[in-house]
């Protein structure tokens, strides 16, 4: 299901677009200004953005400029909404990399057709992005960057620092995110270990990798073993003695 972000300071227009898109079975998130929209985009990476031009805090042009500086957010299709018909504003939006431009008032059929075109374009861009990623040699990832993974065959961007833990599950791995979402990914634990930033992620067991920032405390267990309590997790994780030395400097004996 595609996720669409609506950024519009007019509550009635925002609600109208949201209600229509939800009827079309899209997942819809909303923001009332560019600043809030930027924060949501960096966190969620929507499949498409519909944004007003004139907004408080950060206008649509400023938002598009900031998104264009990141290789992940720059490929999110961006549709400008404006009540102005001035050609200068139209040209400025397109020069900044906008994919389309709707002048208010617009009709629902026009909006729907524009979204369909841009989501098809998004799928092609994701396919090309995936090809480029696969061609790159393995490298250690940055803690704050996004990576492209496939969930049930559907491409999805996730942020590295949103990962709480990764556990092995036969030929797959289970990934728990700070949002509470759980993903099953066709990627081995060894592959994750080779690419994740070693100063933020540590293997505590042959079947578990955890985000060090998510470790609340480490406690001794019976038979001279140890357990790691992760933030928000009810059940602690066993730390095998083989891997405990990696945590000793951080949490002591």
pLDDT in tens, 142-164: 777 777 777 766 667 888 889 99
| Pair type for strands 3-7 and 27-31 | parallel
d(CA 77, CA 82): 17
pLDDT at 114 over 70: yes
Q: How far is CA 32 from CA 11, 18, 25, 188, 240, in A?
A: 8, 12, 22, 41, 48
The domains of the chain, with CATH numbers, are 3-134 (3.40.50.2300), 146-251 (2.40.50.1020)
Using alpha carbons, select from 191, 184, 139, 128 the residue that is nearest to residue 158: 184
| Pair type for strands 78-82 and 100-103 | parallel
- Predicted local confidence at residue 223, as pLDDT: 65
Radius of gyration for the chain, computed over Cα atoms and rounded to the nearest angstrom: 22
pLDDT in tens, 45-60: 898 999 988 888 888 8
The tokens describing 213, both together, are 């920032």
pLDDT at 246 over 80: no
For residue 78, count other CB atoms closer than 10 A to its CB.
27
| Residues in Cβ contact with 24 at an 8 Å cutoff, skipping those fewer than 6 apart | 112
pLDDT in tens, 191-228: 888 888 888 898 988 899 999 999 988 887 766 578 88
Instruction: Report the share of the chain in percent with pLDDT over 90.
Output: 23
Q: How far is CA 137 from CA 62, 133, 141, 194, in A?
A: 34, 8, 12, 11
């Amino acid at each position: 299901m595609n996720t669409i972000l609506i950024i519009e300071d007019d509550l009635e227009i925002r609600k109208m677009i949201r209600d229509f898109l939800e009827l079309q079975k899209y997942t819809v998130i909303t923001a009332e200004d560019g600043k809030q929209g930027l924060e949501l985009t960096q966190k969620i990476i929507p499949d498409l953005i519909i944004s007003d031009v004139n907004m408080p805090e950060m206008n649509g042009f400023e938002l598009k400029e900031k998104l264009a500086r990141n290789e992940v957010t720059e490929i999110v299709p961006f549709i400008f909404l404006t009540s102005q018909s001035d050609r200068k504003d139209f040209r400025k939006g397109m020069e900044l990399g906008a994919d389309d431009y709707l002048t208010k008032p617009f009709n629902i059929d026009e909006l729907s057709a524009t979204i369909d075109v841009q989501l098809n374009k998004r799928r092609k861009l994701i396919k090309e992005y995936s090809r480029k990623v696969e061609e790159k040699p393995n490298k250690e990832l940055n803690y704050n960057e996004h990576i492209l993974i496939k969930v049930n065959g559907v491409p999805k961007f996730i942020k590295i620092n949103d990962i709480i833990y990764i556990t092995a599950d036969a030929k797959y791995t289970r990934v728990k995110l700070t949002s509470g979402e759980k993903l099953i990914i066709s990627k081995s634990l060894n592959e994750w270990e080779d690419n994740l930033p070693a100063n933020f992620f540590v293997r505590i067991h042959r079947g578990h990798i955890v985000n060090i920032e998510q470790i609340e405390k480490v406690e001794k267990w019976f038979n001279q073993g140890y357990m790691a309590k992760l933030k928000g997790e009810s059940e602690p994780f066993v730390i095998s003695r083989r891997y405990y030395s990696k945590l000793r400097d951080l949490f002591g004996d």
